């Protein structure tokens, strides 16, 4: 399934969400490039819950987590886990009990090593 989002205007507010596909009774993984205010993830989780999914996992590359985003995500009962990377430094108080922070260091280290050795970096993404 896909959650289509639309923004009206130049601010960060999501104005419209449309769930395309059947999520009733299925676990759902929401992917986004970043979690800033958490508005998109929370709105998408709400829309998916209304369509029948009860197990929702949120995944983003960059956990910006501005303001009270961490608390807001923790309070959404239908989001079971939030997985982010450590591309943005986070203080300990921003990481809540639902969050798993994955390190990108091994991937970056291997990419640097391969470049230094004249080997393909593209292979990292096909293995």
User: What is the mean predicted confidence (pLDDT) over 76-92?
Assistant: 97
Q: What is the pLDDT of residue 31?
A: 96
pLDDT digits (tens, 9 = 90+) for 19-48: 999 999 999 999 999 999 999 999 999 999
User: Which of the following is catalytic: 5, 98, 100, 113?
Assistant: 5
Average pLDDT, the chain: 93
Indicate the SS3 state at residue 120.
coil
Q: Taking the complete model, does pTM exceed 0.85, yes or no?
A: yes
All domains of the chain, ordered by start, with CATH?
2-125 (3.40.50.2020)
How far is it, in rounded angstroms, from Cα 19 to Cα 11? 22
The answer to whether the beta carbons of residues 74 and 96 sit under 8 Å apart is: yes
The yes-or-no verdict on residue 15 having pLDDT over 70 is: no
Question: Is 80 in the active site?
Answer: no
């Amino acid at each position: 399934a896909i959650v289509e989002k639309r923004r009206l205007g130049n601010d960060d507010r999501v104005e419209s969400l449309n769930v395309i596909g059947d999520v009733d009774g299925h676990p759902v993984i929401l992917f986004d490039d970043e979690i800033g205010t958490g508005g998109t993830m929370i709105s998408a989780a709400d829309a998916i819950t209304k369509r029948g999914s009860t197990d929702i996992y949120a995944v983003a590359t960059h956990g910006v987590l501005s303001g009270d985003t961490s608390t807001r995500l923790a309070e959404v009962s239908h989001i079971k886990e939030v997985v982010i990377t450590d591309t943005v430094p986070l203080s300990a108080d921003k990481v809540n009990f639902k969050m798993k922070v994955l390190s990108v260091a091994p991937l970056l280290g291997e990419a640097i090593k391969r470049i230094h050795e004249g080997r393909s970096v593209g292979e990292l993404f096909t293995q």
